[in-house]
């Protein structure tokens, strides 16, 4: 049974174990922990809601298909598994569902769930593992300068201050770089004096060039670009709160009409692999919105409503 539950968690956002509770998954972005210099890939985070216990048919249908059982036999297998889980918790204090997580009870006898963090149920992250990085120790190195006697000595780094302007900085830096490359071993004091003179000269030259460009520039756009119309595709509503599944399509249409008269945005969402026509109360872009709607409907008495994720064949 744990294998069937694990298989469904790769494909579904919500997997209900009837009379026990529901596993709800949500996408968690990649994370970086600076304290350990570790990067973790994106994943599906698992949580457990003990209030959702109604049989939505998802697990039972999957067990029936995978184990070649009838639907009633699959439901009975799930009941036996729930009794096993409760008995293990009562006898040993906890029970572990393989590849899913560990259950125990607190002092108030409420179920507590600890997910198995090593299992990633996000298909897009298949094969990705955590990656540990290492901090780089950067040590400043003093430059080497030739002295008069031809010996290379370490000298402190000199910080040169040159007049600043609001524009043409790249011209000054390029010129100073050229001067630096052309320097010989003539002596450090002469090198500093020459750099300052060249920087001032370049500063004046760049200002003159920029002024000349501004005087000759024209800011009138005579041929504006044509306007562009962009068609944005609407977001897909892949989370459906299902009202029922019908063997006869006319009955599905009648159910849609009934729900519309009650104010629901009902519609047929396709045919499943068993040939049943599914009718949804409403469909949503976000999974959380669909789950909230499901809880609301069940509180209103629609106990057989359930959540379906994805698309069905038309």
Sign of CA dihedral 147, 151, 155, 161: positive
Per-residue model confidence as pLDDT tens digits over 174-211: 555 554 555 444 444 554 555 555 555 555 665 665 56
pLDDT at 167: 47
Question: Which of 34-38, 190-194, 267-271 has the lowest average pLDDT?
Answer: 190-194
Please compute, for residue 257, the number of CA atoms within 13 A of its CA located in the half-sphere on the CB side. 6
| Confidence band of 21 (pLDDT split at 50, 70, 90) | very high
What pTM was computed for the model?
A: 0.41
| 12 CB-side CA count, 13 A | 22
pLDDT at 213: 57
Q: Are 261 and 233 in contact (CB under 8 A)?
A: no
Confidence class for position 18, pLDDT limits 50, 70, 90? very high
Domain ranges of the chain: 1-135, 144-216, 235-314
Q: Mean pLDDT check: name the lowest of 16-30, 32-46, 103-117.
A: 32-46
Cα distance between the two ends of the chain: 31
Give the pairing type, strands 131-132 and 38-40.
antiparallel
Fold of 235-314: Alpha-Beta Plaits (3.30.70)
Chain-wide mean pLDDT for the chain?
Answer: 76
Per-residue 3-state assignment (H helix, E strand, C coil) for 253-304? HHHHHHHHHCCCCCEEEEECCCCCEEEEEEEECCHHHHHHHHHHHHHCCCCC
Most confident of 62-66, 106-110, 180-184: 62-66
């Amino acid at each position: 049974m744990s294998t069937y539950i694990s298989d469904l968690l790769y494909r579904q956002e919500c997997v209900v174990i009837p009379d026990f509770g529901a596993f709800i998954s949500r996408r968690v972005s990649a994370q970086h922990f600076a304290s350990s210099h570790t990067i973790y890939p994106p994943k599906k985070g698992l949580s457990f809601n003990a209030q959702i216990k109604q049989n939505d048919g998802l697990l039972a249908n999957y067990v029936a298909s995978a184990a070649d059982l009838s639907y009633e036999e699959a439901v009975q297998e799930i009941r036996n598994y729930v009794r096993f889980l409760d008995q293990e918790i009562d006898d040993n204090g906890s029970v572990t569902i393989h590849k899913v997580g560990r259950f125990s009870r607190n002092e108030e006898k409420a179920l507590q769930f600890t997910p198995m963090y090593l299992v990633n149920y996000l298909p897009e992250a298949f094969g990705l593992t955590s990656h540990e990085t290492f901090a780089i120790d950067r040590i400043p190195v003093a430059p080497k300068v030739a002295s008069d006697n031809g010996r290379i000595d370490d000298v402190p780094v000199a910080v040169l201050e040159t007049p600043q302007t609001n524009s043409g900085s790249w011209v000054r830096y390029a010129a100073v770089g050229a001067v630096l490359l052309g320097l010989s071993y003539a002596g450090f004091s002469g090198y500093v004096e020459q750099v300052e003179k060249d920087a001032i000269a370049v500063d004046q030259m760049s200002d003159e060039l920029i002024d000349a460009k501004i005087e000759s520039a024209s800011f009138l756009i005579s041929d504006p670009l044509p306007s562009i119309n962009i068609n944005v595709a609407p977001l897909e509503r892949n989370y459906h709160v299902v009202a029922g599944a019908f063997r006869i399509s006319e009955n599905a249409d009648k159910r849609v009409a009934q729900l519309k008269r009650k104010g629901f945005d009902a519609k047929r969402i396709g045919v499943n692999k068993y040939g049943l026509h599914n009718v949804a109360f409403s469909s949503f872009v976000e999974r959380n919105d669909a789950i909230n709607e499901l809880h609301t409907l069940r509180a209103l008495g629609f106990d057989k409503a359930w959540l379906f994720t994805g698309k069905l064949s038309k």
